[in-house]
């Protein structure tokens, strides 16, 4: 079936199978391998992408459901000049990853949170991020990175960064 949607700010139209998941389509047809697959059961959050600005588990979300919607993956987060999004930079600054497998999903979930709640408290950050699991870094550095990005984003005009 033909499915048209916006992917990282660009219109795209693909012929897909109704049974294909969004993760399969993004990885195998669009070559966006920042979408990571682990549990494939909507438990770990590593496959998180944004659909109309909200996080979804791409491993179980059927691809045709993004018809006429906006999809954002980690590859779409830097600005048009290639500068990293403040969340990406903050994860680097705080060494908030080790193997990096969970990181794209973490950053996209955090972006959705800060877009909705720029002044999120630590408790709110922890609660919102509870669906994203990390097996190797520990969560304190991740929390610090999200805090730093929240502060930085408050000083930036929102339109500077691609909208999810």
First and final CA of the chain: distance in angstroms?
25
Q: Please report how close the Cβ of residue 48 comes to ligand FES at its closest, in angstroms.
A: 7
Residue nearest to ligand FES (CB): 59
Task: Round to whole Å and give the CA distance between 116 and 17.
Answer: 33
Strands (E), the chain: 2-7, 10-15, 48-51, 54-57, 70-72
Sole window of 66-74, 95-103, 113-121, 144-152 interacting with ligand FES (rule: CB under 6 A): 95-103
Q: Does 34 bind ligand FES (CB under 6 A)?
A: no
Q: Please report how close the Cβ of residue 4 comes to ligand FES at its closest, in angstroms.
A: 24
**φ, ψ at 57 (rounded to 5°):** -85, 105
Q: Please report how close the Cβ of residue 55 comes to ligand FES at its closest, in angstroms.
A: 10
State whether residue 62 is helix, strand or coil: strand
Bridge-based pairing of strands 2-7 and 70-72 is parallel
Q: Please report how close the Cβ of residue 109 comes to ligand FES at its closest, in angstroms.
A: 11
Tell which one of 43, 54, 92, 140 touches ligand FES (CB under 6 A).
Answer: 43
Residues that bind ligand FES in the complex, under the rule CB under 6 A = 37-40, 42-47, 57, 59, 97-103, 134-137
């Amino acid at each position: 079936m033909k499915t048209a949607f916006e992917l990282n700010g660009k219109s795209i139209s693909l012929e897909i199978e109704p049974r294909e998941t969004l993760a399969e389509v993004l990885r195998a047809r669009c070559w966006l391998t920042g979408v990571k697959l682990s549990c494939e059961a909507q438990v770990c959050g590593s496959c998180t992408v944004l659909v109309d600005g909200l996080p979804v588990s791409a491993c179980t979300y059927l691809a045709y459901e993004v018809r006429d919607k906006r999809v954002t993956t980690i590859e779409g987060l830097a600005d048009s000049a290639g500068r990293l999004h403040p969340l990406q930079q903050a994860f680097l600054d705080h060494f908030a990853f080790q193997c990096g497998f969970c990181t794209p999903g973490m950053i996209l979930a955090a972006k959705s949170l800060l877009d909705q709640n720029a002044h999120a408290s630590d408790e709110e950050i922890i609660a919102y991020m509870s669906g994203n699991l990390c097996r190797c870094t520990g969560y304190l550095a991740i929390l610090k990175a999200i805090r730093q990005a929240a502060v930085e984003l408050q000083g930036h005009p929102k339109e500077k960064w691609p909208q999810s």
